[in-house]
Structure 1
């Protein structure tokens, strides 16, 4: 008889496929991100993306989201602030704390990066069948759903 832990544990096959998905998604993102004119580090682009998706955040929360130390994120945010990509806002829940918010310039940098990445990917998509492209669009929606669930944990 199986215990509850044994029945709820993913199979080795599911774990293997999940690992393959993570590797494939990471390689895709890196390949799509390689384009001329990318003058921002991945951490800056991910931080801008987090701020766009989640709204203003504390530096500590940004550090947790990026799996880096708070002092490292503080340095990243200071440079971004000097470049006008983010701005400080007072935290309405704690007058002593600050939130970092994406600025219009930061949004512009992020959108330009995403546009260039999409332009890099587009020619490769033309070599796929309509059915394959449809599967990719469905996969993107599913990944968004799975990501939301992972982010809520």
Structure 2
């Protein structure tokens, strides 16, 4: 009995310490691999050549498992926290370099955030949501 309880306690502890992680790619090139939302460390600077390429910027988000059935939301924010784009119900965000160029015409930097909501609207209305900063993208 003690062995079963110990095993159960270890499994619960390990599942609680699992963290979300995300990677940012431009085409096949990995630009960022992170587990913690840090506005200073999670910065990406794109060059003119990067933005001229006909590729996509991809943010791949991997959840720890606690809220797998929840609705994942990604948001791009520009200057003064202006929302530029929002995608709901996806696990991977894709942005074309053409869209990035369009956003950079009026915004110095772009921040990418994510958060999740439960599928039940009644439950979602009563939950305080904190958005998670994934990365900040700047133009060289």
Which TM-score tier does this pair reach, normalised by the shorter chain?
Answer: under 0.3
Give me the TM-score of the superposition, normalised by structure 1. Answer: 0.21
Give me the TM-score of the superposition, normalised by structure 2. Answer: 0.22
> Is the strand fraction higher in 1 or 2?
2
> Greater relative contact order (Cα 8 A, min sep 6): structure 1 or 2?
2
Compare CA radii of gyration and give the structure with the larger one.
Answer: 1
